[in-house]
Chain A
């Protein structure tokens, strides 16, 4: 029987976009990039790590299906297609006006969990450890709770063996090896190696694939299901004043020596 992997992938504002390009609606809790800047969104970095991890697991177990799933209102297909052209088999897009600006993880987790159940059989749900926009690191953990399955956050290595996922997860001191029964939800960090580049063959295959899209009604979600538990009431860019003293010198060696003297003078060492 095929091994089913669901990977969560999120379209985010390019984290390299300068804050000067932000257009902020504070009371609506909404942040966009000024469209005149022509800065395309990207797939969240850790989500690409999760897709890479899924493809590595697929190669290891042989017969596996990798389904990518994402929720939002405004997908840029050129960006999202990368998830498929990296080598995934299916793509599900949960798309609805009601899913715009998903900054309350309890709603995001609920709709993704509902979709995972609708897809049906799954052995493994993979996700990035954190998204670079709202930085909450909790949607996958919430999904595990809603589905009532085990969860292993921040894995750096995953092996599937005898119906369990044997994970090495990063800890402050090093790592721990955790064995979780399947199905389970696992989030990954950036130690799975560089996410692979789409091959020409996969790009062509992806172009022929049409994502399956579901809206709130098709997921059976009522407005009540989508009521917020936390609410952003303001968004702002903190002010910063620079007061850096640049250390001078004849050459870089002297700058180095002068820096040492300056740090001593300021009692930093």
Chain B
């Protein structure tokens, strides 16, 4: 039986949520293509994650082992995955568009000499038994349906576009150790240091609530004052639009959007953000959008559930004060 290979990730010893979602994306494809689901894990020590992958719906897990693996290093990950793909010759390869997935997806495709559909939000199998995917293009203004025309068929799938399946701990599957047997010469880049720029408070990607500021903030100060007060009151993380990052008010790590972070909080309150599709592409999974903008024609009012048309300098302090009384 042919295999669909999923590139899995492990977080703190557990299967990453994005990988569980990826299995949910892969299952219907496997059914249509009469294939099985295999997950490759590159953590040195991921026995429990392998079982979790099986509970989530995987039929087989490749535990890729090599002394050069461990902490994520692009060259080592790429080399071992390319080796596994060339050896097992899967019909398709699916990758989550996480930080690691985005880093390796395209290069892996080129290395195994195939095409890859980037940033898919929906995947299916067409009548020719080819994988086809829908993906936002032109900054999210438009949707493209794209078909894989070469093998293995590869797709990079945006996280948070499908819920993981209910875990079934009674499922069983094969766990196979795979020695990548890498030569040290595959490592080209040296990671000199990794620095966490601690954004105070909650990580954007994990936040249940987010307050975002855009060009309408008119300067960097509100990010430390009015926006921060509001975020602190709500227990929210702070994000920004690309415009605010381009001008240099906040670092790139704050950027939400097509070219920044993808977030899906329960509540996203946007202040002075017009709602250009490039920004909305990063927050389309949000459950509730609330907008404060002085332009009544701003696009954001098409997407928001609640809106205030007004000047944030007047609206925010009153909103924050009222919230403090309510919470």
Residue positions of A touching B, CB distance < 8 A: 13, 15, 19, 22, 24, 29, 31, 46, 104-106, 109, 129-130, 132-138, 141-142, 144-146, 149-153, 156, 166, 170-181, 184, 189-191, 193-194, 228-238, 240, 242-247, 251-257, 259-264, 266, 268-269
Q: How far is the CA of A156 from the CA of B246 in the complex (A)?
A: 12
Is B48 engaged at the interface, CB distance under 8 Å to the other chain?
no
* A175-B197, A252-B315 given; A233·B110 CB < 8 A: no
A-B contact pairs, 27 of them (CB 8 A): A29-B144, A104-B115, A135-B135, A135-B138, A136-B106, A138-B106, A150-B75, A150-B188, A152-B189, A175-B195, A177-B193, A179-B192, A184-B188, A189-B259, A229-B149, A231-B146, A231-B147, A236-B142, A244-B307, A245-B305, A247-B308, A253-B314, A256-B319, A257-B321, A257-B322, A264-B326, A269-B267
Further contacts, 19 of them, CB under 8 A, given A19-B141, A229-B115, A260-B326: A15-B278, A104-B115, A105-B106, A105-B115, A135-B138, A135-B258, A149-B188, A152-B189, A173-B253, A177-B195, A179-B190, A180-B188, A190-B259, A229-B150, A234-B145, A246-B307, A255-B310, A257-B318, A260-B319
Question: Contact check: which of A138, A174, A255 meets B116 at CB < 8 Å?
Answer: A138
In the complex, how many angstroms separate the beta carbon of A123 from the nearest chain B beta carbon? 15
**Residues of chain B lying within 8 A (CB to CB) of residue A247:** 306-308
Q: How far is the CA of A172 from the CA of B141 in the complex (A)?
A: 25
The answer to whether B307 and A146 touch across the interface, beta carbons within 8 angstroms, is: no
Is B167 engaged at the interface, CB distance under 8 Å to the other chain?
no
The answer to whether A142 and B107 touch across the interface, beta carbons within 8 angstroms, is: yes
Q: How far is the CA of A175 from the CA of B99 in the complex (A)?
A: 12
Q: How far is the CA of A184 from the CA of B190 in the complex (A)?
A: 13
Question: Contact check: which of B150, B252, B308, B327 meets A255 at CB < 8 Å?
Answer: B308
Q: How far is the CA of A246 from the CA of B298 in the complex (A)?
A: 13
Q: How far is the CA of A256 from the CA of B99 in the complex (A)?
A: 37
The answer to whether A230 and B117 touch across the interface, beta carbons within 8 angstroms, is: yes
Q: How far is the CA of A230 from the CA of B144 in the complex (A)?
A: 12
Count of CB-CB pairs between chains A and B under 8 Å = 265
Of the listed residues B142, B191, B196, B320, the one surrounded by the most CB atoms of chain A closer than 10 A to its CB is B142
* A175-B197, A191-B251 given; A256·B105 CB < 8 A: no
Q: How far is the CA of A217 from the CA of B144 in the complex (A)?
A: 31
Is B290 engaged at the interface, CB distance under 8 Å to the other chain?
yes
Of the listed residues B234, B246, B301, the one surrounded by the most CB atoms of chain A closer than 10 A to its CB is B246
**Can you name the residue of chain B whose Cβ is closest to the Cβ of A141?**
B106
* A135-B137, A269-B267 given; A252·B310 CB < 8 A: yes
- Please report the total number of B residues contacting A with Cβ < 8 Å: 89
**Residues of chain A lying within 8 A (CB to CB) of residue B102:** 137, 153
Contact with A along B175-213 (1 / 0, CB 8 A): 000000000000011111111111000010100010000
Is B14 engaged at the interface, CB distance under 8 Å to the other chain?
no
**Residues of chain B lying within 8 A (CB to CB) of residue A29:** 144
The answer to whether A256 and B137 touch across the interface, beta carbons within 8 angstroms, is: no
In the complex, how many angstroms separate the beta carbon of B255 from the nearest chain A beta carbon? 8
Contact with A along B282-294 (1 / 0, CB 8 A): 0000001011100
Interface residues of B in 224-238 (CB under 8 A from A): 234
The answer to whether B118 and A137 touch across the interface, beta carbons within 8 angstroms, is: yes
**Residues of chain B lying within 8 A (CB to CB) of residue A237:** 141-143
**Mostly helix, strand, loop or mixed at chain A's interface?**
mixed
* A130-B259, A257-B319, A268-B288 given; A136·B311 CB < 8 A: no
In the complex, how many angstroms separate the beta carbon of B196 from the nearest chain A beta carbon? 5
The answer to whether B290 and A263 touch across the interface, beta carbons within 8 angstroms, is: yes
The answer to whether A22 and B142 touch across the interface, beta carbons within 8 angstroms, is: yes
**Can you name the residue of chain A whose Cβ is closest to the Cβ of B324?**
A260
Q: How far is the CA of A251 from the CA of B309 in the complex (A)?
A: 11
Interface residues of B in 246-294 (CB under 8 A from A): 246, 248, 251-253, 258-259, 261, 266-267, 277-278, 288, 290-292
**Residues of chain B lying within 8 A (CB to CB) of residue A24:** 142
In the complex, how many angstroms separate the beta carbon of B121 from the nearest chain A beta carbon? 10
The answer to whether B192 and A177 touch across the interface, beta carbons within 8 angstroms, is: yes
Is B103 engaged at the interface, CB distance under 8 Å to the other chain?
yes
Q: How far is the CA of A172 from the CA of B262 in the complex (A)?
A: 10
**Residues of chain B lying within 8 A (CB to CB) of residue A136:** 106, 118-119
Of the listed residues A19, A153, A170, A244, the one surrounded by the most CB atoms of chain B closer than 10 A to its CB is A244
The answer to whether A109 and B144 touch across the interface, beta carbons within 8 angstroms, is: no
Is B70 engaged at the interface, CB distance under 8 Å to the other chain?
no
Is B38 engaged at the interface, CB distance under 8 Å to the other chain?
no
* A22-B142, A172-B261 given; A190·B242 CB < 8 A: yes
